[in-house]
Structure 1
Amino acid sequence: MISPGFVAEILGAALIMALTGALVAWLLRKIARIGLVPSYALGIAVMTFVGAALYVSSQNGAVDYLNAWIKYAIGGVVGFLILYSTSRRSTSKT
């Protein structure tokens, strides 16, 4: 059974991934000509590695990197869905 603590960690990771992934996506769009949704995907992908590394370094070796990355990757998927559902995409008039 999934513990409430695990769900809370995933929701926290989703929030962090959505916020930091959107920030990295904004920077990517300023540097390169890239669309909104691909920049969100790249931003979140980059931040899963960075976020997991920061989490492991703050735990003084109590957590291994792979477990932290898996949690942040799951949170990244949820964060991407949040960003995708709230993004202002252009709709075609046809």
Structure 2
Amino acid sequence: MLAADLLRKHVLPTLIADQERAADTEEGTAIDIWDMDTTSMHQLVLKKWPSSKSYVFIGKWNQDFVKRRELKKGDKIGFYWDPYYCSFKFFVLKRAMAT
């Protein structure tokens, strides 16, 4: 989940009008996500989750990020919005300690 207030302030205003409107609909809008660690581009759908009023990514999150990057509970990940390229940047900040 992405904080609605931050998304409305920093991301939505930089999208083209159609994308901005679509992010608030059931369909959502396609958003590029650049994996900084593996230098690979992926696309997920950004949409507002009606029950929480927050925004979420849907699509191939598990396939493109969790499984491919072998993310585990406790891993710290980072996202930041790049307004120049209208895309999110993703990276693994810290891996959880192996148990």
- State if a TM-score over 0.5 links the two structures: no
Larger proportion of strand: 2
TM-score w.r.t. structure 1 length?
0.26
TM-score w.r.t. structure 2 length?
0.25
- More contact order relative to length (CA 8 Å, sep ≥ 6): 1
